[in-house]
């Protein structure tokens, strides 16, 4: 004959088994999500490696030279001469050297462009 204590212990064991099963099931779901994320990260890393390889292939100097030679007439590309190089003192003044034409907060109709709403 089962005593009350035995019934309570059996009930506690069933409850513990149920909770253990739920925890195990939740852990397996989380592990599945982690594996999916790891697979997605691996795919993105491989895609990035492929894109970097493609980029380095497209930027090979021999390829760029061939393209510039092929489209030299269309684009007007020519190698620059050393005399075309400007010295820093020959360049125009820095933007910070200019005084602003319009003070902040004021509007000037002559300077207003289409992109600026008065």
pLDDT digits (tens, 9 = 90+) for 13-60: 999 999 999 999 999 999 999 999 999 999 999 999 999 999 999 999
Residue 110 confidence (pLDDT) above 90: no
Q: pTM value? A: 0.50
HSE on the CB side for 96, CA within 13 Å? 0
Alpha-carbon distance 26 to 19, whole Å? 11
């Amino acid at each position: 004959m089962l005593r009350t204590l035995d019934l309570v212990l059996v009930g506690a064991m069933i409850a513990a088994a149920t909770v253990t099963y739920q925890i195990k099931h939740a852990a397996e779901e989380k592990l599945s999500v982690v594996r999916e994320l790891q697979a997605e990260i691996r795919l993105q890393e491989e895609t990035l490696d492929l894109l970097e390889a493609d980029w380095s292939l497209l930027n090979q100097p021999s390829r760029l030279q061939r393209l510039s030679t092929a489209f030299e007439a269309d684009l007007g590309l020519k190698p620059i001469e050393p005399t075309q190089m400007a010295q820093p003192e020959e360049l125009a003044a820095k933007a910070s050297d200019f005084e602003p034409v319009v003070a902040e907060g004021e509007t000037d109709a002559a300077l207003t462009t289409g992109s600026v709403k008065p």
